[in-house]
Amino acid sequence: MLLSRHLLSDRILMEMRTQPLDEEQLEALGPRALQVQQEAILAEVAEFLESRARVGNARRLLTDLVNRERKAGTAVGGGLAIPHVRTMNVKEPTVALLRSTGGLEFGAPDGEPVHIFLVLVAPPYDDRLYLKIYKEAAELFLQEHTLEWLLEATSESEILQFLRSPEKFVIDW
């Protein structure tokens, strides 16, 4: 799979540090709560990528991710969001996977929390690979039990093994 070839073990975060907003925060923020939560998640994504990928400027990458999210939400439902952006702030196509076992509000169309953030960032001139990886990721998550399996994985290597041949793992469910 193309996805597994571009996702390196050091670009997998087994548990995000971002936490859901509590009731007091939700009340204080009102209608801005979702935007604040999304920006906190994307800030963690940009920071994570800065130390593991060829990122030119993490602050600009965050701005690009936030602007992309405002244009059209990247949460697809079923526990998955695919934050993605084409930007000059990365030097090569990069894939990362960040996991929140408890789930985070990210504006999914099904109203469910997001557990897997599959991040795709690429320079604007590398559309072909970017689109192929995006399509492959979307197809993977249409398969039954993919989310459950990824949430139960105990290591980065288990996640990579799953992504290399998901049919081998999902069939046991």
What's 76's domain CATH number?
A: 3.40.930.10
pLDDT at 173: 46
Tell me what pLDDT residue 160 has. Answer: 93
Q: Which residues contact 171 (CB under 8 A, 6 or more apart)?
A: none
Which range of residues forms the domain containing residue 11?
A: 2-170
Integer Cα distance of 76 and 106 in angstroms: 10
71, containing H or E segment: helix 58-71
Q: What sign does the dihedral 57-46-38-109 (CA atoms) show?
A: positive
Contact 164, 156 (CB under 8 A): no
CA distance 148 to 101: 10
Separation between Cα atoms, residue 39 and residue 107, nearest integer Å: 12
β-strand pairing of 114-122 with 94-104: antiparallel
What is the domain count for the chain?
1
pLDDT at 98: 98
- Residue count (the chain): 173
For residue 125, give the 3-state DSSP assignment.
coil
Entry pTM: 0.92
Check residue 138 and give its pLDDT. Answer: 82
> What does each of the 173 residues of the chain score in pLDDT, given as a tens digit?
778 888 999 999 999 999 999 999 999 999 999 999 999 999 999 999 999 988 989 999 999 999 999 999 999 999 999 999 999 999 888 999 999 999 999 999 999 999 999 999 988 886 788 788 888 888 888 888 889 999 999 999 999 998 888 877 655 54
What is the CA angle 7-72-44, rounded to 5? 45
